[in-house]
């Protein structure tokens, strides 16, 4: 009996020693990462890096709090700051990290523009592969109430947010999903979209599911050097439902090094007249093409059996978007800065 107690006490002592050393090493790694970015020319400011409490997380986890972090990349012009950031990981493997952010405002700036992001319950779960590259195997981001604006006016807001990126069999392939409930465009965006007053304040549905191949896996170099760029997108489902307007899209796109997509997107559109009006008002469709495209779309809609709804295929090639032989506008560039 006494021998068993001695063994148990010895194991507890060894685990406690490991937990303390691992926690010390984790904090040193966090401090070293910030110092490394500063040496690379980034602007780095941190008030304090410490454990959240004397025995925070003991015995099964480590918790480290970074107070008043500020990061600015002079090359991209992007800067970010927040009140605090908390990192939590299992004691046995620090590659599974949970990042929690302070409720309230964060600021994301690029050159002379600043976005104010207000969140509640914002957290990110990261699963990193063993190794110095810290390759992302899985990343999930969730939040409760959130909003995006410029500090005076809200541009976007939502009741919740769920994003995920999960690595597939090939390291550069990821499955992406996004879902937002209570998505609400702000007053400025509604004016930009010429949103009719009868349109509801919130979207009923906003959902995305896609498989994306990048030119490089997501790892620490994605933050420190360059972002991986998408080279192929298999869009399984993109759905938006706003009032009477409903859009469902599927398709496959290849993307060249300049970010120009080519391929086809199959669209199911309900109340397509409203989408054409939005496309003209936001500049996606030239006003001079509105009537011409409208006649073609109306013909296609009648052929499908319902003149109010539409099943069409958009073809993207040569930097343009076409319905059949008719160009309707320039294809968007798909680049991650």
Query: In angstroms, rounded to a whole number, what is the distance separating the alpha carbons of residues 163 and 173?
Result: 16
Three-state SS at 237 = strand
Q: Are 242 and 235 in contact (CB under 8 A)?
A: no
Tell me what pLDDT residue 54 has.
46
* Residue 194 forms part of a structural domain: no
The pLDDT-based confidence of 95 (bands split at 50, 70, 90) is confident
Nearest CA to 113 out of 323, 337, 319 is that of 337
Token pair 């009868």 is found at 198
Pairing of strands 104-110, 78-81: antiparallel
Q: Is the pLDDT of residue 123 over 70?
A: yes
Tell me what pLDDT residue 84 has.
92
* Residue 6 forms part of a structural domain: yes
* Residue 58 forms part of a structural domain: yes
Tell me what pLDDT residue 249 has.
94
* Residue 42 forms part of a structural domain: yes
* Residue 174 forms part of a structural domain: no
Regarding predicted confidence, which is higher, 308 or 42?
A: 42
Three-state SS at 253 = strand
Q: Report how many domains make up the chain.
A: 1
* Residue 135 forms part of a structural domain: no
Q: Is the pLDDT of residue 277 over 80?
A: no
Least confident of 61-70, 77-86, 267-276, 309-318: 267-276
Share of the chain above pLDDT 70, in %: 86
Q: Which alpha helices (DSSP H) does 46-186 contain, by range?
A: none
Share of the chain above pLDDT 90, in %: 34
Burial 239-268 (b: 16+ CB within 10 A, else e): bbbbeebbbbbbbbbebeeeebbbbebebb
Nearest CA to 218 out of 312, 154, 124 is that of 124
Determine the average pLDDT of the residues in 154-162. 89
Query: In angstroms, rounded to a whole number, what is the distance separating the alpha carbons of residues 232 and 253?
Result: 6
Query: In angstroms, rounded to a whole number, what is the distance separating the alpha carbons of residues 47 and 45?
Result: 7
Tell me what pLDDT residue 193 has.
60
Regarding predicted confidence, which is higher, 171 or 185?
A: 171
Tell me what pLDDT residue 305 has.
64
Mean pLDDT estimate for the chain = 84
Q: Are 236 and 250 in contact (CB under 8 A)?
A: yes
The domain in which residue 67 lies consists of: 1-102
Token pair 């299992």 is found at 90
Q: Is the pLDDT of residue 231 over 90?
A: yes
* Residue 131 forms part of a structural domain: no
* Residue 9 forms part of a structural domain: yes
């Amino acid at each position: 009996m006494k021998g068993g107690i001695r063994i148990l006490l010895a194991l507890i002592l060894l685990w406690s020693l490991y937990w303390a050393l691992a926690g010390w090493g984790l904090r040193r790694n966090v401090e070293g990462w910030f110092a490394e970015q500063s040496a690379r020319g980034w602007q780095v400011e941190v008030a304090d890096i410490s454990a959240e409490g004397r025995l925070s997380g003991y015995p099964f986890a480590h918790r480290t709090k970074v107070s008043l972090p500020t990061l600015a990349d002079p090359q991209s012009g992007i800067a970010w700051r927040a009140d605090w950031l908390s990192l939590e990981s299992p004691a046995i493997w620090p590659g599974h990290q949970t990042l929690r952010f302070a409720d309230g405002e964060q600021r994301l700036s690029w050159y002379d523009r600043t976005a104010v992001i207000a969140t509640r319950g914002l957290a990110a779960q990261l699963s990193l592969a063993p190794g110095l590259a810290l390759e992302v195997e899985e990343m999930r981001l969730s939040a409760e109430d959130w909003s995006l604006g410029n500090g005076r006016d809200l541009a976007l807001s939502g009741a919740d947010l769920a994003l995920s990126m999960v690595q597939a069999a090939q390291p550069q392939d990821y499955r992406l999903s996004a879902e937002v409930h209570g998505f609400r465009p702000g007053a400025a965006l509604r004016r930009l979209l010429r949103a009719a007053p009868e349109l509801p304040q919130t979207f009923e549905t906003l959902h995305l599911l896609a498989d994306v191949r990048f030119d490089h896996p997501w790892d620490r170099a994605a933050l420190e050097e360059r972002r991986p760029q998408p080279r192929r997108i298999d869009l399984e489902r993109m759905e938006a439902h706003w009032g009477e307007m409903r859009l469902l899209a599927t398709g496959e796109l290849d993307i060249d090094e300049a970010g120009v997509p080519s391929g086809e997107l199959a669209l199911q559109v309900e109340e397509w007249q409203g989408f054409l009006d939005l496309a003209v008002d936001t500049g996606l469709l030239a006003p001079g093409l509105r009537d011409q495209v409208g006649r073609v779309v109306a013909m296609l809609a009648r052929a499908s059996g319902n003149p109010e709804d539409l099943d069409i295929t958009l073809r993207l090639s040569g930097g343009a978007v076409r319905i059949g032989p008719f160009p309707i506008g320039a294809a968007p560039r798909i680049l991650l800065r």
